[in-house]
Amino acid sequence: MNLAKLNDIAAATKEKCKNKKRVCVCAGAACISSGAIQTLDSMKKIVKEKGLDKTVDVIPVGCIGACHQGPLVKILPDETIYQKITPAEAALIAEKHLAKNEVVKSLLFATGAGKESPVNSNETDFFKKQRKVVLETCGNINPESIEDYIAVGGYQALYNILSTLSQEEVIAEVKAGGLRGRGGAGFPTGLKWEMVHRYINSTKYVVCNGDEGDPGAFMDRSVLEGDPHRILEGMAIAGYAVGAQKGYIYVRAEYPLAIKRLETAIKQARVQGLLGDKIFETDFNFDIEIRIGAGAFVCGEETALLASIEGKRGTPRPRPPYPAESGLWGKPTLINNVETFANIPKLILIGGKEFASVGTQKSAGTKVFALAGKIMNTGLVEVPMGITLREIIFEIGGGIPGGKKFKAAQTGGPSGGCIPESHLDTPVDYESLGALGTIMGSGGMIIMDETSCMVDVARYFMDFCMNESCGKCVPCRVGTKQMFDLLNKICTGQGSPADLALLEELAPYVRETSLCGLGMTAPNPLMSTLRYFREEYMAHINDHWCPAGVCKMEPAAQLAEAHS
Amino acid sequence: MTPLAAPTTTILVTIDEKTYSADPGETILDVCKREGINIPTLCFLEGVSTVGACRLCLIEIEGTRKLLPACATVVAPFQKVKTNSDRLKKNRRMTLELLFSERNHICSVCVANYNCRLQDLAHEVGMDHVRFPYLFPDCNVDGTNKIYNIDHNRCIMCTKCVRTCDEVEGAHTWDVRGRGFESRIIADFDEAWGTSPTCTLCGKCVSVCPTGALWHKQSVQNNMKKSPEMVSELTAKRGRKG
């Protein structure tokens, strides 16, 4: 592979699509489960039957974002999105939009009731405020075609750095971009790369953490399924910068489609000479292997993930030494999240300075969130850092369905905390969310309305952490179990003020003494619900009453009567 | 691997406001042991790998927000360490409270009574009662081995037996299955110990077990003496450490 060949592929692919309409049928996991494959097949069949295949390409694409309205069909270059498209409706779209260029208004993607839907989906409330960097091409290209990725500028960044930049210059660029770890903790990516780069004369590894395990989170999944080459390119760039020749992508087994598409992508990249020996005819060799997780949440913790790649039981170990010093098989290892790597090609192409112009001063760039729970528009959104939660939930997300009242948003899944209504105008960045007692997390955002009981929510997440604790250290193994039991007592109306006092002593202890991030953050949902919704706990304990009507218990009066 | 600027000369560290010299690569626990500073440990065993799992030896280092395990933290020049602050003492009591609440640790009927590391530590840190409900999970006693017994009710999951069996005896009979509160020590593929084809009956696991979970069939209440130093001496003679 060289630049001329890369440009040839891009030009040939563009030529093929020239003056043609592109029908992108979402083949993300959510749309597939609502019947996208049937829609895709029927669309292909009809286009062929009507002889439209000279002017129309029908392709499967990755996640378009509005998962609640799947199966989605997007027509390019018109940027028109149709929602909930059945095979029969696909025929209608082909007949009208594709053959006669007439928009089928009744099927247009709608984000709010009563309003007329714009023909260009980028003008809808759902897409208007989004800013796509990581998901730039996700939903527009066929994830199983390397040509599609190259045609939209793919692997150009890799060529650029190999031909013009030194390792130090690449790292300086990433630092200038101010990119921070998208796995949730927000460690500066450039600094991490530099730490690994510093070790000389050693075998090094690059690892991509795709073990997304938070309940309700599907950002990494969508990127892996929708644009796998972007991850490969980001990893190759990282490999060059830190001096590694081998990369591993750790994906959880629950994502079979992501694994399949990654496998395809790796094969294609090898065939094109974009992975393997002498990439772009330079001395840079880099190859990537997939490792499949076996269903343990704790393997998202970096040291547990590395142990799992080595074939050992996936349990964390104390840090320091950090993986940058002693990682995979004791070698310096760079480990970044899927979304972090997905940011890299764009960052290199536009330059660090330009990249940092989006977002806030301390949190540069964009963040992908998976909206879930009691919200109108569930799905995948990418927003600039610094946007307020209110904008995400009420403008992009369309607010709470059924006229219900917003109660809280949970970011960071079981490791994060809840944000009440009074803090909805907080800008989304690492520091502001930290100050509220939650974390940015990997991007799950669960919205709760007045029908959710916050004590029950705390119990749910504690149950999750208790079941996912690896059992290695005492505070997490026994502490989460005791906290769960105490919460369960409160939820069933058996709790006493003494139980609450014990919980409040146990929670900071578990946070302070646990071995890894799972245990350290396990008390967060409990502590933040206690901080903002203490009156709900008190109602359960003193009045034996669940204000949201979720927890089933005997009312206090009946209890007193029964005991008298 | 060539870490940059690895110190090769003696390091000065301050522990509990006294300054000591240490060799590069030594852990804080090494220094404390040499200097006679007592730090409670439970999962640490000289001679086998360190896991930092019991969280009893956590110490405070000035400038670090996290508490770090003394057994797994290597000394750095001019480090200021606190080993016995009120915060640490409180945490240690809580850790033991949780351990006692987890399984069945009733001393009066235990073979290891008076010879038990868990019991000693409870005395040491002043853990005199448990405020949490006793959990008593459903654990069995495996008496199939002809010389030894394992009583999972008394196991604290320190994994000393697992590490010793793998790293010193080289048999790797013991391992861990399950996760969290449900994790258990298992022989081979979760089989009866007596049928294990890998177990050499060397008894090292029994010697290093800090509680009455592993014991000799001949012992009765109060008389099972443990000798973890046997394994440490053995590995020292073989010229390896940790």
CB contact under 8 A, A509 and B91: yes
**pLDDT reading at B1 higher than 60:** no
**pLDDT reading at A201 higher than 60:** yes
Q: Beta-carbon neighbour count of residue A272 at 10 Å?
A: 18
| CA dist., res. A240 & res. B100, Å (int) | 51
Tell me if chain A has a CB within 8 Å of the CB of B102: yes
Q: How many residues does chain A have?
A: 564
Q: Residue A559's pLDDT is what?
A: 58
Confidence of residue B205 (pLDDT cuts 50, 70, 90): very high
**pLDDT reading at A51 higher than 80:** yes
Q: Residue A560's pLDDT is what?
A: 58
Pair of tokens at residue B63: 């400038």
Q: Residue A17's pLDDT is what?
A: 86
The string of DSSP codes covering B105-169 is --GGG-TTTTS-HHHHHHHHHT-----SPP------EE--SSSEEEEGGG-----HHHHHIIIII
Taking residues A424-445, report their average pLDDT: 93
CB contact under 8 A, A477 and B180: yes
The pLDDT tens digits of the residues spanning B150-183 come to 999 999 999 999 999 999 999 999 999 999 999 9
> Comparing A195-199, A435-439, A523-527, which segment has the lowest mean pLDDT?
A435-439
CA A542 to chain centre: 40
CB contact under 8 A, A298 and B179: yes
**pLDDT reading at A562 higher than 60:** no
Question: Which helix (H) or strand (E) element contains residue A28?
Answer: none
How many cross-chain Cβ pairs, A to B, lie less than 8 Å apart?
A: 114
Task: Please give the single-letter amino acid code of residue B13.
Answer: V
Question: If you search the block for the tokens 């003492």, which residue do you land on?
Answer: B89
Give whole-number Cα distances, B201 to B146, B149, B186, B193, in Å.
9, 11, 15, 10
Domains, chain B, ranges and CATH?
A: 11-84 (3.10.20.740), 107-232 (3.30.70.20)
Question: Which helix (H) or strand (E) element contains residue A104?
Answer: none
Give whole-number Cα distances, A18 to A198, A289, B66, B203, in Å.
47, 35, 58, 76
| CA dist., res. A108 & res. A111, Å (int) | 10
**pLDDT reading at A468 higher than 90:** yes
Q: Residue A113's pLDDT is what?
A: 62
- Cβ contacts (< 8 Å) between B52 and chain A: which residues? 317-318, 473, 515
Q: Residue B31's pLDDT is what?
A: 97
Nearest to B216 by CA among B169, A380, B225: B225
CB contact under 8 A, B55 and A515: yes
Residue A496: which residues within 8 A CB-CB, separation 6 or more? A541
The verdict on whether omega for the bond into residue A143 sits within 30 degrees of 0, i.e. cis, is no
Q: Residue A258's pLDDT is what?
A: 96
Tell me if chain A has a CB within 8 Å of the CB of B72: yes
Q: Residue A184's pLDDT is what?
A: 85
The pLDDT tens digits of the residues spanning A491-519 come to 999 999 999 999 999 999 999 999 999 99
Task: Please give the single-letter amino acid code of residue A513.
Answer: T
Interface residues of A toward B, Cβ cutoff 8 Å, are 198-202, 296, 298, 313, 317-318, 320, 325-326, 330-332, 466-482, 485, 502, 505-506, 509, 512-515
- Cβ contacts (< 8 Å) between A476 and chain B: which residues? 180
Contacts 24+ apart (CB under 8 A), B226-229: B226/B112, B226/B115, B226/B117, B228/B45, B228/B160, B229/B46
**pLDDT reading at A4 higher than 90:** yes
CB contact under 8 A, A475 and B95: yes
CB contact under 8 A, A513 and B180: no
Confidence of residue B218 (pLDDT cuts 50, 70, 90): confident
Taking residues A79-89, report their average pLDDT: 94
**pLDDT reading at A389 higher than 60:** yes
Nearest to B75 by CA among B88, B89, B59, B90: B59
The pLDDT tens digits of the residues spanning A138-191 come to 999 999 999 999 999 999 999 999 999 999 999 999 999 999 999 988 999 999
Taking residues A479-494, report their average pLDDT: 96
Name A180's bridge partners: A188
CB contact under 8 A, B180 and A330: no
Taking residues A336-350, report their average pLDDT: 97
Confidence of residue B224 (pLDDT cuts 50, 70, 90): confident
Confidence of residue B240 (pLDDT cuts 50, 70, 90): low
**pLDDT reading at A116 higher than 90:** no
Percentage of residues in chain A having pLDDT higher than 90: 88
Taking residues B105-131, report their average pLDDT: 93
| CA dist., res. B15 & res. B26, Å (int) | 14
Question: A17: distance to nearest CA of chain B, Å?
Answer: 51
What are the backbone dihedrals phi and psi of residue A213, each rounded to the nearest 5 degrees, phi first?
-125, -5
Q: Residue B6's pLDDT is what?
A: 55
Question: If you search the block for the tokens 């012992």, which residue do you land on?
Answer: B219
Name A334's bridge partners: A206
Q: Beta-carbon neighbour count of residue B102 at 10 Å?
A: 23
> Comparing A121-125, A340-344, A553-557, which segment has the lowest mean pLDDT?
A553-557
Residue A167: which residues within 8 A CB-CB, separation 6 or more? A197, A240, A241, A242, A243
Confidence of residue A348 (pLDDT cuts 50, 70, 90): very high
- Cβ contacts (< 8 Å) between B134 and chain A: which residues? none
The pLDDT tens digits of the residues spanning B87-115 come to 999 999 999 999 999 999 999 999 999 99
Taking residues B123-146, report their average pLDDT: 94
**pLDDT reading at B3 higher than 70:** no
Which of B52, B69, B101 is opposite residue A482, by nearest beta carbon? B101
Residue A326: which residues within 8 A CB-CB, separation 6 or more? A332, B1
What are the backbone dihedrals phi and psi of residue A315, each rounded to the nearest 5 degrees, phi first?
-120, 145
**pLDDT reading at A114 higher than 70:** no
Calculate the average pLDDT of chain A.
94
Q: Are strands B141-142 and B80-82 parallel, antiparallel or unpaired?
A: unpaired
| CA dist., res. A467 & res. A213, Å (int) | 13
* Terminal-residue alpha carbon distance, chain A: 85
Question: A509: distance to nearest CA of chain B, Å?
Answer: 7
Nearest CA in chain B to A325: B3
Confidence of residue B241 (pLDDT cuts 50, 70, 90): low
Taking residues A183-207, report their average pLDDT: 94
**pLDDT reading at A203 higher than 60:** yes
Domains, chain A, ranges and CATH?
A: 3-128 (3.40.30.10), 155-356 (3.40.50.11540), 366-449 (3.10.20.600), 455-561 (1.20.1440.230)
**pLDDT reading at A69 higher than 70:** yes
